[in-house]
Structure 1
Amino acid sequence: MRNIPLFVVICLLALVACNSNGKKETNTIEFKNVNQRIAKSFSDLKRLDTFKIELTGRKPEEMVLNFTIKNADGKEIYNTQIKGTELLGSTDPNVDLSKEKDQIIFLKTIADDFFSEENFLEPAVMPEDKADNYTPDKALYEELKKSGLNGFKYRLGKENNIYIAWSQKEQKVKIYYNCC
């Protein structure tokens, strides 16, 4: 008979201990660096380039999105590093990112969606497209119309999309459009 109350007390203590740990874990998020690769034609229509992104860092102010493109021969043709604070600073003001947890989720979502199909533009510029005020290099724009090479776009914020493509003439990746 004495063992039953002791058993009940031990069970209650175990239950309370389990519940308090559960509450702590719901306020934290599991952190895993984002590391993705995809092969697409970009600098050559007949061969695949490797696009890679990696989101590193544990806190938003330390996070960096590294984006690289390597051609089919393995040569790096594009590399940019985007700070997490830069991405957070140019977001929609209606999005509440006051909590660190929400900031991390937001940055991971950007990284997870980086290689969505809509960001791969085939071709970069359609033959009937006309350059406008958002075209920083009109000669490249015309070159892309003729070459039919593909483009890629990525976001730096709410109204800042960077469109890049390979310039056969200059043998490097360049920005051909920068807009909303």
Structure 2
Amino acid sequence: MVALPLACSAPADRAAAPPGPASADTTDSPALEPMDTTAASVADAQSDTLKAVRVRHLFSSPSSPDLFQLVLRGDSLLSSEATFSITAADGTVIFRESLSSADLEAAMVYEMKTPGATRQEREAYLRRRMDEFFAERNFRKPAVRPNDTFQPNTTDRATWDDLRRRPDAIGFEYKVGKEDGRRIAWSPLKKQVVRYASFGG
């Protein structure tokens, strides 16, 4: 899946900061307002929210944690759409991406011990995948480590070099599908969230 455009407005005076304790909230039936989007969505905005995971973690500000959310909407767990978003403390949505339930489920193939999986097993994996999406191990500090190499297909050199010079910059990594690993961070240079590296595949 291709990431949707990032929010145009950027919170003022944001800088990367060391991660603090993350507070998680995982619910199966939360009352959430439909998120605005700039692209057609597979899920009806009025359909039920099937599952939502929320974590607050320092990311774009040195003192105020951002709200990381993964919200799954649709008719059933295995045929739904998830919205991954990051909202700054001032309410600005600084990142938004749509993922299908298949994107979240695909990596199950690496854990399967038999050729197929039951619907119940697939749903259980999808729920677990969502619960672990914002695990502390997926946040990186610094965002760019000393042995990391520049990947020109993800961002420009100036942005990457700027992140590399910031030991307190925080990166977040997640996987889409089976092997599409993505690393994102708040770029003080661009005043927006950027994808600065890939992994896996």
Structure 2 length as normaliser, TM-score?
0.64
Q: Which structure has the larger Rg over C-alpha atoms? A: 1
Aligned to 1:22: none
1:146 matched to 2:165: yes
Structure 1 pair 41–57 and aligned structure 2 pair: CA distance change class (3 A): same
- Where structure 1 has 5 or more consecutive residues not aligned to the other structure, the ranges are 1-30
Conserved in 2, the CA contact under 8 Å of 1:135 and 1:141?
no
Conserved in 1, the CA contact under 8 Å of 2:78 and 2:123?
no
Conserved in 1, the CA contact under 8 Å of 2:185 and 2:196?
yes
Aligned to 2:149: 131
Structure 1 length as normaliser, TM-score?
0.71
Conserved in 1, the CA contact under 8 Å of 2:103 and 2:176?
yes
Conserved in 2, the CA contact under 8 Å of 1:121 and 1:151?
yes
Structure 1 pair 135–145 and aligned structure 2 pair: CA distance change class (3 A): farther
Conserved in 2, the CA contact under 8 Å of 1:119 and 1:153?
yes
Structure 1 pair 100–132 and aligned structure 2 pair: CA distance change class (3 A): same
CA shift for structure 1 position 88: 3.3
SS in 1 for 2:143: coil
| Farther-moved stretch of structure 1 (167-176 vs 131-140) | 131-140
CA RMSD of aligned residues (A): 2.4
Aligned to 1:7: none
Identity, in percent, stands at: 26
CA shift for structure 1 position 162: 0.9
Question: How many aligned positions are there?
Answer: 149
CA shift for structure 1 position 90: 5.3
Q: AA paired with 1:53?
A: L
Structure 1 pair 55–163 and aligned structure 2 pair: CA distance change class (3 A): same
1:115 matched to 2:134: yes
Conserved in 1, the CA contact under 8 Å of 2:82 and 2:99?
yes
Structure 1 pair 93–51 and aligned structure 2 pair: CA distance change class (3 A): closer
Conserved in 2, the CA contact under 8 Å of 1:122 and 1:151?
yes
